[in-house]
DNA sequence: ACCATTTCTTAAACCAGCTTAATTTTTTTG
DNA sequence: CAAAAAAATTAAGCTGGTTTAAGAAATGGT
């Protein structure tokens, strides 16, 4: 069970069957249908989430009352509002499924206990965080150097499967463009 | 020696004197004057850097041949091109001192050996990476929700000492604005 | 103190991408 | 399958922030 997570951990550290059993004590599976919420604005984000199957989005509601998506998570991605998770502060975000999803969740206290019982997991999470940071540095670089049109084209070229799977207006929101402008860009490309 | 680094590590994990001695084997101090480079575009970024004293900036040169700053590092910050560091890919960035600085550097192989000899440091770096990720999520949120003018005002309000210490055109670059526009904003505030 | 270099300012013309608002297409649900 | 809801398109007008170009002020080295 949780084959995706186990395989993901095994990319980075050794993991025997006994350790997997221990690990299982700390992990809570959550099955969600489309548009279910894992986190709502104002709540403290008390868990980190791993996507076994499905897709999540993280967004906040801006002053114009429209949803601003800041992150997606597909299979094998961890997602959380780390700011809220680390310091137990109320979150400004929503985390919601984009489609029917199987999520694994580890809450704050399980996370600490798990790391105490299985210190080798510190290494796994160090590497996960380091890679997430590298990804976020890369994304920031693209946002600095590309025009919005180039950013859109580059994104569609890099993640074609993703573009199929997620509604266009969500991609627009994630890239920081209006749906109208994306529409215009698509017309131009044809 | 390296009091800032030692204190920083002690914020997150226990550290006895013997451990510090071991740690020292892996750390290379580098003293730099203003505008010296730690990394140039095209090189593989083979180290992570800790600022004991001073200030670093990380930037790339865009197609208009102007410098786009993506990060600063003051005292007690780690900085690196993690994308290049992790996968040994040539970096697209420069890392340069903004002022005379004392830097501590750990190269790729020292990093791996150090983590093997002192596995408790995995925890320290897991926490450092996690916090860096939280900071980068927060920064991204501001970039999404604020206009450039608000972003500038917010930045100056949040880091007044920093604004003193770093030339205005660098702050403009970091925030993704032109120096001309920052000039206009300042005039407006007075 | 003086010259060279770096940094900051001013102002006008310009444009990428947004807003608004109305219409059409697609998807969801009973 | 039909009605309702959600998502995508179109087009015109507008604006926040850039570009360009020139001059002024601050900083640093000798």
Q: What is the pLDDT of residues A44-78, one digit of tens each?
A: 999 999 999 999 999 999 877 789 999 999 999 99
Helix (H) or strand (E) holding B11: helix B3-12
CB under 8 Å to A173, separation ≥6 — which residues? A59, A66, A67, A68, A69, A179
Looking at the DSSP bridge assignments, the partners of residue A72 are A57
* Mean pLDDT along residues B39-45: 95
CB contact under 8 A, B145 and A83: no
> How many residues are given for chain A?
190
* Mean pLDDT along residues A99-110: 95
pTM: 0.92
* B3-116: CATH class: mainly beta
DSSP structure class, residue A43: S
CA–CA dist B60, B90 (Å, integer) = 13
Closest residue in B to A132 (Cα) is B133
Interface test with B, best of A68, A136, A138, A142 (most B CBs within 10 A): A136
Q: What is the pLDDT of residues A2-22, one digit of tens each?
A: 899 999 999 999 999 999 999
CA–CA dist A129, B88 (Å, integer) = 18
Q: State percent of chain B over pLDDT 90.
A: 89
Residue A34: nearest nucleotide (C-alpha to C1'): C28
What are the distances in angstroms from CA A12 to CA A8, A122, B120? 7, 11, 17
CB contact under 8 A, A83 and B138: yes
User: What is the phi/psi pair of residue A107, to 5°?
Assistant: -85, 170
């Amino acid at each position: 069970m949780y084959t995706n997570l186990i395989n993901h951990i095994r990319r980075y550290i050794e993991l025997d069957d006994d350790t997997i059993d221990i690990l299982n004590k700390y992990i809570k599976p959550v099955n969600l249908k489309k548009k279910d919420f894992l986190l709502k604005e104002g709540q403290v984000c008390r868990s980190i989430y791993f996507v076994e199957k499905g897709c999540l989005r993280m967004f906040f509601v801006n002053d114009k009352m429209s949803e601003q998506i800041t992150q997606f998570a597909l299979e094998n991605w961890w997602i959380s509002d780390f700011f809220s998770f680390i310091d137990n502060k109320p979150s400004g975000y929503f985390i919601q499924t984009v489609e029917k999803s199987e999520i694994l969740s580890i809450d704050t206290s399980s996370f600490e206990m798990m790391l105490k019982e299985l210190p080798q997991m510190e290494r796994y999470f160090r590497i996960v965080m380091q890679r997430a940071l590298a990804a976020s540095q890369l994304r920031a670089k693209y946002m600095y150097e590309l025009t919005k049109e180039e950013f859109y084209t580059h994104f569609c070229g890099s993640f074609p499967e993703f573009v199929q799977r997620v509604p266009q207006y969500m991609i627009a929101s994630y890239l920081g463009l209006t749906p109208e402008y994306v529409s215009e860009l698509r017309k131009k490309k044809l």
